[in-house]
Structure 1
Amino acid sequence: MTLNPRQTALLEEVRTQGFASIDELARKFGVTLQTVRRDVNMLAENGMLARFHGGVRVEDSTTENIAYRQRQVLNAEGKARIARAVASAVPEGCSLILNIGTTVEEIARGLVHHRGLRVITNNLNVANILADNPDCEVIVAGGVLRSRDRGIVGEATVEFIRQFKVDIGLIGISGIEADGTLRDYDFREVKVARTIIEHSREVWLAADASKFNRQAMVELAHVSQVDRLFTDAPLAAPFDQILADSGVKCVVAERE
C-alpha cells in the first residue's frame, strides 16, 4: 500500500515514541481528530499500528515485551497521573508490596514523602527510589535478578513473599484482554504477581490506556481479583461493564 506524506510521518512518530494519543497526533499534524482516526484506522487495518481506546501504539508481540528503556518513556505523562492518584490513595503507616514495571516505579516516586510505610518489593528500581524516604522501611525480595529491568523473579521470590500479608498489593500488568484476563510475558514474573495477589488484603492494579486490548502470552489473573484499578483515561466497552460487574473500583487520573 502507498502512504501519503502525513500518514508516513504519523507512522514514524508513533514508532519513535511507541505510543500516542489521537489528540496529540491531531495537534502535531494540524488536522482534525476525524482525519487522524481515519489514518490510524487504516494503518491498524494493515498491521502497521495497534489501536486502543483514545490512542495508538506500535504493534507488539504476544511473546516479548517492549524494551525497558522504551517503556520508560511510553505514555510517561499518563503514568505520572496514575502515580499521583495512587499516592494520594495510599494511607500513611501501611504495608505494601510493589512489583515490577515502569508504572509501579513511577508510583514509588510518588511515595517518597509518605510516612511510616513498610514496602516489600521485587524491583530494585523501586527499592532504590524509596531508599530516599527515611521514614519508609524497604524489604527487598531475593531471587533471580533480571538485568534488563532490575526485576527479581523465581521460586525464591515467591517463597519470600509468602511470609507476608500486607495491606495493599500494588501490581502493574502488560495487557488486559477484552474478557478481563490480565496477562504478562514472563511466567516467572507472573508467579510472583499471583503470590502478591494471594498475600494482599487489597489488590490495586495500575494500568495506563495502552494496556487495554493488548495481548501477552501468560495468564496472570482476572480483573475481578482486583479491588481497585488506576488508569489514565475513561474506560470504553467492554471494560467499563466488566469492572462494574466485578465490583472493581476504577480511578481515572484525569488531566489537571
Structure 2
Amino acid sequence: MSGNDRLQAIIDLLRAENSVETEDLARRFEVTPQTIRRDLAALVERGLAVRTHGGARRMASTSTIAYEDRRLKRAREKEAIGRVVADMIPDGCSIMLNIGSTTEQVAQALSDHQGLVVITNNINVVHILRMSRIASLKIAGGSVRPSDGAIIGGDAVAFMDKHKADFAVIGCSSLDPDGAILDFDDREVSVARAILRNARKKILVADRSKFDVDASVRICSLDELDIVVTDGPPPESFLQAAQACGTEVICATGPT
C-alpha cells in the first residue's frame, strides 16, 4: 500500500471511528509504529486530526475531509501534471494560481524555481511556497472558505484585477466534452475568471476524472485557454474542440 493510500485509509477510519491507535494501525497496515506516527503527524498538520496519547482523534469538518479526499485521489496523476506545468514556467516570471488540489501540485513542483512572483487566492499555495526561493508571494484578501483554504468574493476578484502575470494556472471541478470548463461556486469562478483575464499565457490543469463530474457554472471555454494539461487522452470531442480553436492539449505521459 502506498503512503497516499494509507493516509486515505486512516482518514476513512477517523471518519468512521473518530479515533485511532498507533499500534493498531501499524498492525493493520503492516508498517512500523514510526511510519504511522509520521502519517498521523501529516494529518495533524493538515488540520484533520489531533494527537492523543498513543494515537489521534478526528478534528475536522466533513467539508475539510472531503477536500483532503480530493487531494489524495489520483495523487500520482496530479503530481505528474504539476511537473509538466512546472517545466513550462521559467525562473523569474510571474504566475497566478487558483484553488485546487492540482494547482497545489503545480506549486509543489515550482518549489525549486528561483525569482518567481506568485499571486494566489489559495492559502495552501502560500504554505507550500513560503520557504522557497521566490521573489514575491502575494495572497488575495477576502473571505476564506474553511473547507479548502480558498479566498473568494469581490475583494479577491479586485485583488487579481490589480495585477498582471506572465502565466495563469487554474484548476476546475468539471470538464464538458464540448470544451466547457466548469465549477460549482460562483464566487470561486469569479476569481478564476479574473486570474485568466490578467495573464498573458493561460493554462488549465485537470485530471480526466473531471469529465465524470457535472458542474453548472462556466469558468471559460477552450478558446480562452492556451494550454490544457491532463493525465491522459481526453474524449475525442474535447480534442476536436481544442484543435478547432488552437488550444494545445498536453498529457502528463506525452502530447496528444
CA RMSD of aligned residues (A): 1.9
Q: Counterpart of 2:174?
A: 175
Tell me the TM-score normalized by structure 2: 0.72
Contact 2:96 2:119 in 1 (8 A): yes
Superposition pairs for residues 1-256 of structure 1, below 5 Å? Answer: 67-254=66-253
Provide the secondary structure at the position in 2 that maps to 1:235: coil
CA separation in 1, counterparts of 2:217 and 2:65? Answer: 15
Higher relative contact order (CA 8 A, sep 6+): 1
Contact 1:143 1:154 in 2 (8 A): yes
Between 207-216 and 92-101, the greater mean CA deviation after superposition: 207-216
CA separation in 2, counterparts of 1:127 and 1:136? Answer: 13
CA separation in 2, counterparts of 1:215 and 1:125? Answer: 25
CA separation in 1, counterparts of 2:135 and 2:107? Answer: 11
Contact 2:64 2:148 in 1 (8 A): no
Matched to 2:69, the amino acid is Q
Between 211-220 and 141-150, the greater mean CA deviation after superposition: 211-220
CA separation in 1, counterparts of 2:158 and 2:235? Answer: 38
Provide the secondary structure at the position in 2 that maps to 1:115: coil
CA separation in 2, counterparts of 1:136 and 1:77? Answer: 29
Deviation at residue 119 of structure 1 after TM alignment = 0.4
Aligned residues: 194
Contact 1:178 1:239 in 2 (8 A): yes
Between 126-135 and 202-211, the greater mean CA deviation after superposition: 126-135
CA separation in 2, counterparts of 1:217 and 1:250? Answer: 23
Q: Residue deviations 1:120-162, cap 9 Å, x none? A: 0000000110102033410011010001101100000001111
Matched to 1:242, the amino acid is A
Deviation at residue 251 of structure 1 after TM alignment = 1.3
CA separation in 1, counterparts of 2:198 and 2:189? Answer: 14
Alignment CA distance shift 1:179-1:66 (3 Å) = farther
Q: Residue deviations 1:2-48, cap 9 Å, x none? A: xxxxxxxxxxx9xx8xxxxxxxxxxxxxxxxxxxxxxxxxxxxxxxx
For structure 1, list consecutive stretches of 5 or more residues without a partner in the other structure: 1-12, 17-63
CA separation in 1, counterparts of 2:189 and 2:243? Answer: 25
CA separation in 2, counterparts of 1:213 and 1:73? Answer: 17
For structure 2, list consecutive stretches of 5 or more residues without a partner in the other structure: 1-8, 13-62
Report the structure, 1 or 2, having the larger helix content.
Answer: 2
Matched to 1:129, the amino acid is I
Provide the secondary structure at the position in 2 that maps to 1:119: strand
Provide the secondary structure at the position in 2 that maps to 1:243: helix
Alignment CA distance shift 1:239-1:66 (3 Å) = farther
CA separation in 2, counterparts of 1:224 and 1:108? Answer: 25
Contact 1:178 1:213 in 2 (8 A): no
